[in-house]
């Protein structure tokens, strides 16, 4: 929607001429037709903030949840490595299919191979599992609290918007994929 138009004088090589200027408004109606999901936060940023907040809270007020005699660091590292492998597999699969990974770029195709055969959101599952790995490695219940908040934010501020966008953009192709593959597991 055009919010305002105006004229301006500009000098080029010493001569004056009139140009038209236009300001576009970013209305909700425009956002609905944009070729992105218009998520409320970029998932890697949300994940990083959740990790930093959990670690900071753990430094201020430690809140352990595991028995002292288990090798939490090694178990957490193992969980994190599995998370990283899932995350990387999902990104490689999407990139090889020719689609964009960042949520602020258009999706070009529905990817149904690799981890996308089992879940529609393997990247976010990798992020969830990574937070669990950190929670175990640092023996911090705070990181699990941040996981709950992060999961809520991803589910309602990212995935819900992505699903609406994909349904609008790909129609029956996406609806068929959605009917065959679960959102999470």
Alpha carbons 49 and 61: distance in angstroms, whole number: 18
Query: Is it the case that residue 30 has pLDDT exceeding 80?
Result: no
Instruction: Provide the b/e sequence for 121-133 (b: ≥16 CB within 10 Å).
Output: bbbbbbbbbbbbb
Q: How do the residues of the chain divide into helix, strand and coil, expressed in percent and rounded to 5?
A: 60, 10, 30
Question: Structure tokens of 9?
Answer: 């004088």
**Residue located via tokens 């959740």:** 50
Residue-averaged pLDDT of the chain: 87
Alpha carbons 163 and 183: distance in angstroms, whole number: 10
User: What pLDDT score was predicted for residue 33?
Assistant: 55
Query: Is it the case that residue 130 has pLDDT exceeding 50?
Result: yes
For residue 182, the SS3 value is coil
Residues of the chain with pLDDT > 90, as a percent, come to: 82
User: Quick one: DSSP state of residue 118?
Assistant: T
Q: What is the pLDDT of residues 153-170, one digit of tens each?
A: 999 999 999 999 999 999
CA distances, 82 to each of 104, 131, 141 (Å): 26, 12, 20
Q: Pick from 138, 158, 150, 170: which is nearest to 55 by CA?
A: 138
Contact 52, 137 (CB under 8 A): no
Q: What is the pLDDT of residues 107-129, one digit of tens each?
A: 999 999 999 999 999 999 999 99
User: What pLDDT score was predicted for residue 34?
Assistant: 79
Over residues 6-24, mean pLDDT: 39
10 vs 39 pLDDT, higher one = 39
Helices 122-137 and 72-96: crossing angle in degrees, nearest 10, is 160
User: What pLDDT score was predicted for residue 12?
Assistant: 39
Query: Is it the case that residue 44 has pLDDT exceeding 60?
Result: yes
């Amino acid at each position: 929607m055009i919010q305002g138009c105006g004229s301006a004088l500009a000098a080029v090589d010493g001569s004056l001429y009139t140009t038209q200027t236009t300001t576009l408004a970013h209305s909700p109606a425009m956002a609905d037709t944009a070729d992105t999901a218009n998520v409320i936060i970029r998932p890697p940023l949300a994940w990083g903030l959740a990790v930093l907040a959990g670690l900071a809270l753990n430094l201020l007020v430690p809140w352990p949840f595991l028995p002292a005699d288990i090798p939490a660091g090694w178990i957490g590292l193992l969980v994190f490595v599995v998370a990283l492998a899932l995350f990387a597999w999902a990104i490689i699969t999407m990139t090889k299919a020719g689609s964009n990974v960042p949520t602020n770029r258009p999706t070009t195709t529905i990817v149904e191979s690799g981890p996308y055969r089992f879940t529609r959101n393997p990247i976010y599952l990798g992020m969830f599992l990574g937070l669990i790995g950190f929670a175990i490695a640092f023996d911090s219940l705070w990181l699990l609290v941040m996981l709950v908040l992060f999961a809520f934010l991803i589910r309602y501020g990212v995935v819900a918007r992505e699903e609406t966008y994909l349904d609008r953009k790909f129609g029956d192709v996406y609806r068929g994929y959605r009917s065959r593959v679960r959102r999470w597991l």
